[in-house]
Chains A and B, each alone.
Chain A
């Protein structure tokens, strides 16, 4: 490890600009996370245009802080409203809301916060110690290996982020098709631009991300308003007995450590995401408990298990991103876009070309965790008030920022029309259950996949036998085929079971 770079990174993380940038990201993330219906990916996609004027380190740390803040903030609405700000906090609501109803809302929130921060810090430390050796190994990979790994990640995400592998792959196919729009790197010919010079640089990432994630989500939310209007949250009262005590902490500590382990493992695998992590951790905590019947009725271990895993997933999802350049989920995919906007190629090359930045980001992540703890602890009353903001007030404001984000990018009316097109696409994908996660990940990794595929074909001169001498590439090709077959069988079995159930329509 380069200790001078580590020292410089620590010094950069402790500057005032760093505190303001990361603190702002965590605060914004907390506020967004508290509001039900606004997810992490929505927040990141809208926030990317705000980072244009920031330095690469502050910009990336701001977005990672935002991501961490949303994960911690979503627990507040899950506990006080029984309406999780994110799907991954649904497991938190199972015990958090009953505990709040029993007159212990502050205790539930503090358990959630401590579990979030501990899960987050421990997973960040694991990321630091795993990503760097991982990236060193990945630097030895050639285009054959990278193309095979990217194909594997795509199939894995397509199968796991939605229920139906065929819908996932179809969405991935659309992502690949649209990811090739623009000038072809080798021939210099425009591809699928239909004569529009605005598309020469490819489909604008901001339009694709904001359209499919944020704007479409607002259309979905406004549609829901017809059927469900605001619910009242549990109020926080001044009660000295309502706080987390040392015995409670000692009781939940093993659960937090187990949850962190589960979250880190799930986060490091592409496609699984925080919802799988939090529910898996919750289930394991219930199985390990001496009185499992207490779960679902306000058990502190239930909150600790779900929150520690939910927050551990975020740093862990950066292991494949920093190690291999593969985004494991939408947030990581958006981070690739943010890196690209600042002219940085994320992946193992980051360690070789820009180690100071990588270490600075790690230092910024630790700082974000500490800020998250301070903000969450002292701002509980403030964040509890935000749960009372009704969704019909949030929707127009977010739509405004979606449109403003495109204008800040400088694409003008053409960009806005593309944004609207992708919002409609995202709405339809959500409505008909086509994985927009796979679509977005495929869209973002297609240039990388195409580059590695092209280099492989040129180096091998079209002779596929060369792959026999590349065991890692062969391993990932075999994994891709195996994953594909397994996921197809699973989809057919699930559909058969659904067809057998009454009222399938």
Chain B
């Protein structure tokens, strides 16, 4: 907990600082005649992140020093990391694929592939679970919302 608090707090505070020093001055716009400058509210958000993230990080740091534990862990379970990461990669690849082909046309393969990877082997489950949602999407988009095939 102290280790994750330290690193997550540092990341949040770092993002807040990045927002205050670069994002807001360059991209939030400014108008000297506006009674409330456009950068005020984004600035409040960034300050909240900087201060609160900083407090979380400092609290984590104090606990790390008090308990004399290392800042990084060497006990990585790569198999667990891989298991947690593959769905992200799978969906990211699917999104890349969706820039070429509509989800209605390949949705069944998207679901079936993931079902197989998650350990489903019953053919009737794979067929039913992958085809029925796509048919529902088709009916919804074409006949009910009338936006055409998505």
Contacts and interface: CB of A to CB of B under 8 A. Distances in A.
Mostly, the B contact residues are: helix
Given A186-B38, A226-B83, A401-B133, A215 B144 contact: no
Contacts of A226: 80, 83
A187 B38 contact: yes
A175 interface: yes
Contacts, number: 201
A184 B84 CA distance: 39
A503 to B, nearest CB: 10
Contacts of B130: 396
A403 interface: yes
Contacts of B119: 225, 392
B31 A392 contact: no
A46 to B, nearest CB: 11
Given A176-B44, A177-B19, A187-B31, A400 B107 contact: yes
A345 interface: no
Given A52-B145, A192-B42, A167 B115 contact: no
Contacts of B91: 215, 399, 403, 420, 423
Contacts of A457: 35-36
A499 B66 contact: yes
Interface residues of A, number: 71
A353 interface: no
Interface string A421-462: 001100110001010000000100010011001100110011
B95 to A, nearest CB: 5
Interface stretch (A8-16, A318-326, A334-342, A409-417): A409-417
Interface of A: 50, 52-53, 164, 166-167, 169-170, 172-180, 184, 186-187, 189-194, 215, 218-219, 222-223, 225-226, 392-393, 395-397, 399-401, 403-404, 407-408, 410, 413, 416-417, 420, 423-424, 427-428, 432, 434, 442, 446, 449-450, 453-454, 457-458, 461-462, 495, 498-499, 504-505
5 contacts: A52-B145, A219-B84, A399-B111, A416-B98, A446-B45
Interface of B: 1-5, 8-9, 12, 15-16, 19, 23-24, 27-29, 31, 34-36, 38-42, 44-49, 52-53, 55-56, 59, 63, 66-67, 69, 80, 83-84, 87-88, 91-92, 94-95, 98-99, 102-103, 107, 110-112, 114-115, 118-120, 125, 129-130, 133-134, 137, 140-141, 144-147, 150
